[in-house]
Amino acid sequence: MTVNDISAKHSLALAQRQSDALLNRCSYKGRFAPSPTGPLHFGSLITAVASYCDAKAHNGQWIVRIEDTDIPRIYPNSEQHILQCLEAFEFESDVEIIYQRQRLDIYESVIEQLQHKKLVYACECTRKMLGSNHIYAGTCREKHLDFQDQAIRVKVDDQLICFEDRLQGQHCSNLQHDLGDFVLKRRDGIINYQLAVVVDDYLQGMTHVVRGADLLDNTERQIWLGQCLSYPPLEYMHLPLAMNEQGQKLSKQNLAQAIDPQHAPELLLQAITALGQAPVDLDQPNQMLAQASAQWDISRIPKGTEIPAIYK
Ligand code: GLU
């Protein structure tokens, strides 16, 4: 790959990654990567606490990244609420927070890279044409359509992709059977989460991913994309999801209540307890986080993919 192949921003980010790797700065780098598609809720707080404590328990770095490529889904003021909560809970990112919507040219240049490798193609199928079929049949694979104003899909293979999740055990998928070639860029130009997450995890030198079990089924897609781009593999830990009293996972779709930054210590204690960890003293949030990190024990995290309701 030559510098001409990639955008200036991308080559800068690659150089930074390479110098970090040479200096061997950190053997653990983890992240908290909220999307501002709604205010932070208790489920997101659990992810923030677990990713933070796991990183600090490994003497690692913990980095915040705002995943805001899906511009039409950005919810008014939610980014502000996320930042306000991070401050109130005294979560400090070890490097400057990055915003994915400012990095669109990087993702575009990675699509070009994949295009050179003939691993992506343009697809003109509309949602209507695809109907209720969730497995894409590869209709446009051999059409060789121009990339302009079309969706871009990555080719997948008929092979089983497996990984060993630190909590959920082995998880596998045959992407061709389960999903088909998947979209990296939508026809309206929006970069898909799957691409942005893989590229930034690589460029930021992440080693560990700690996130909710709702993203478990996305992981094989991300591993596949990482393999297409010759990125090193990551370690994954998918946390059980906090449920509401109706047995639904707390989510923006279920209108989960926004967390109140004014009650940071109490909410932190609830999140630490929901993660099955030894209790910590009610204190300043950074003291509580330090104590929780020192006591962090993943064998205490509830098994399975759900944590029963403790908070609406
Ligand atoms: N941005 C995603 C979300 O808010 C999380 C991505 C990830 O942790 O991989 O659901």
Write down the domain spans for the chain: 3-310
Report the residue count for the chain. Answer: 312
Residue among 29, 32, 35, 85 to mutate when testing ligand 1 (max atoms within 8 A of CB): 35
Binding residues for L-glutamate are 31-35, 67, 193, 211
212 CA to middle of ligand 1, Å? 8
Residue of 202, 204, 203, 199 whose CA lies nearest to 184? 199
233 CA to middle of ligand 1, Å? 18
Query: Rounded to whole angstroms, how far apart are CA atoms 54 and 61?
Result: 10
Spatial contact of 149 and 132, defined as CB atoms under 8 Å apart:
no
Residue among 46, 71, 163, 211 to mutate when testing ligand 1 (max atoms within 8 A of CB): 211
Atom of ligand 1 nearest to the CA of 34: 4
The pLDDT score that the predictor gives to residue 2 is 52
33 CA to middle of ligand 1, Å? 5
Q: How many CB atoms lie within 10 A of CB 49?
A: 28
34 CA to middle of ligand 1, Å? 5
Q: How many CB atoms lie within 10 A of CB 59?
A: 10
Spatial contact of 104 and 195, defined as CB atoms under 8 Å apart:
no
3 CA to middle of ligand 1, Å? 30
**Residue whose CA is at the smallest distance from ligand 1 atom 6:** 33
Residue among 44, 67, 198, 238 to mutate when testing ligand 1 (max atoms within 8 A of CB): 67
φ, ψ at 36 (rounded to 5°): -80, 55
Binding residues are 31-35, 67, 123, 125, 136, 140, 193, 211, 252
Residue of 101, 76, 150 whose CA lies nearest to 139? 150
The pLDDT score that the predictor gives to residue 127 is 84
The tokens for 289 are 């986080």
Query: Rounded to whole angstroms, how far apart are CA atoms 247 and 87?
Result: 31
Q: How many CB atoms lie within 10 A of CB 150?
A: 18
Which residue is it, tokens 């003497």? 59
Query: Rounded to whole angstroms, how far apart are CA atoms 201 and 90?
Result: 23
**Helix, coil or strand: residue 101:** helix
Residue of 194, 196, 211 whose CA lies nearest to 44? 211
Query: Rounded to whole angstroms, how far apart are CA atoms 142 and 140?
Result: 6
* Contacts with 115 (C-beta within 8 Å, 6 or more apart), sequence order: 147
Query: Rounded to whole angstroms, how far apart are CA atoms 217 and 168?
Result: 12
Spell out the per-residue pLDDT of the chain, length 312, in tens.
Answer: 554 557 888 998 998 888 877 766 679 999 999 999 999 999 999 999 999 999 999 999 999 999 999 999 999 999 999 999 999 999 999 999 999 999 999 999 999 999 999 999 999 998 888 888 789 999 999 999 999 999 999 999 999 999 999 999 999 999 999 999 999 999 999 999 999 999 999 999 999 999 999 999 999 999 999 999 999 999 999 999 988 877 788 877 777 789 999 999 999 999 999 999 999 999 999 999 999 999 999 999 998 888 876 644
Residues with CB under 6 A from ligand 1: 33-35, 67, 197, 211, 215
The pLDDT score that the predictor gives to residue 312 is 41
Spatial contact of 164 and 220, defined as CB atoms under 8 Å apart:
no
Spatial contact of 180 and 137, defined as CB atoms under 8 Å apart:
yes
Query: Rounded to whole angstroms, how far apart are CA atoms 269 and 178?
Result: 39
CA–centroid distance for 55 within its chain? 15
The tokens for 120 are 């992506």
Query: Rounded to whole angstroms, how far apart are CA atoms 255 and 4?
Result: 46
Identify the architecture of domain 3-310 in CATH: 3-Layer(aba) Sandwich (3.40)
The pLDDT score that the predictor gives to residue 7 is 84
Query: Alpha helix (H) ranges present in the chain?
Result: 8-23, 42-57, 78-88, 104-116, 127-130, 175-178, 193-203, 219-228, 264-274, 285-295
**Residue whose CA is at the smallest distance from ligand 1 atom 7:** 33
In this prediction the pTM is 0.94
Query: Rounded to whole angstroms, how far apart are CA atoms 199 and 113?
Result: 12
Query: Rounded to whole angstroms, how far apart are CA atoms 184 and 304?
Result: 30
Query: Rounded to whole angstroms, how far apart are CA atoms 215 and 33?
Result: 12
